[in-house]
Amino acid sequence: MGLPKIQLPLFETKLFSTGEVVKFRPFTVKEEKILLIAQESDDIDQTMLALKQIISNCVYGVEVDMLPMFELEHLMLQLRSKSVNNIITFNITDPDTKLPVEIELDIDDISLTIDPKHSKEVAINDDMFLMMRYPRLDEVSLFKNFVKGQTDTLFSIMIACIDSVVDGDSVSSMSDFSDDEIQEFVESLPGKAIEGLQTFFETVPVLRFESTYINANGDSKSLVLEGMETFFI
C-alpha cells in the first residue's frame, strides 16, 4: 500500500493588472525548502528564481514570465498568508537609537500604491502615444543589477516594454517590427516622449506597507516598506 495522498485546499485571489481571478494552493515542504535556500543566499537573482519556482508550482493558470513584478509580489504574499499565517514578525534597526525594534506586519495591510502621475500611455504628440507594459521578472532583475556603464542594456529594457504605438485609430504592435526598425523609431522620438518613458518606470505600481512604532527614546517613528526584498520574509 502506498503512502496516502494529502489533499491541499484551494484559494482564490484577483490579479491587480488584469482583474482575473486565479486559484492557488498553499506551499508545501518542497516550496518551503526553496524559500529557505533563497533567504539564506541573500542573493537577488536566487530570490527571483525562487519566487518564480514557488508561484509556478502553487498558482494555477498563470504565465509567471508574463506577470509584472508587483503581481508576483502580491501572489507570493497571498501564498505566505495561506501557507503560514498573515502576520510577519521581524526586526528593524531604529536609525536614531541603533537598537532593534520588533515589527509586526499584517499582510492584509499591504496595499498596491499607484502614483497619481503614473500612466501606461506615453505621449509622443497630440495624436500619437506609446502603450507600455510593465517590466517582467527577468527585466526587473536586470534593472536591479544595473551598474554605471550599462546604459545600452537599460535602454534596451525600456524599449522592450513598449507594447504598441497608437496613432489615432491605428495601433501598431511592436512585435510586428524588427529590432532595427524599433531602434530607429525610438531614436526619432522627441524629448517629451523620453521623459514620459522615464516617468512610467519611476512610477510603476508597488506594494507598500506603512506603520508607526515607538523607539527606545519614546519617540514615534514612521516605517515604510516597499518591494520584494522587504516582503520576501
Percent of the chain with pLDDT over 70: 90
**Residues 104 and 47 sit within 8 Å (Cβ to Cβ):** no
Instruction: Quote the strand ranges of 97-138, DSSP E.
Output: 100-106, 111-113, 121-123, 128-132
Angle between helices 137-144 and 44-58 (to 10 degrees): 170
CA distances from 56 to 41, 148, 159, 229 (A): 21, 33, 27, 19
Rounded to the nearest angstrom, the gap between the alpha carbon of residue 125 and the centroid of all alpha carbons in its chain is 30
Band (pLDDT 50/70/90 cuts) for residue 232 is low
pTM: 0.79
Cα–Cα nearest to 53, from 28, 35, 74: 35
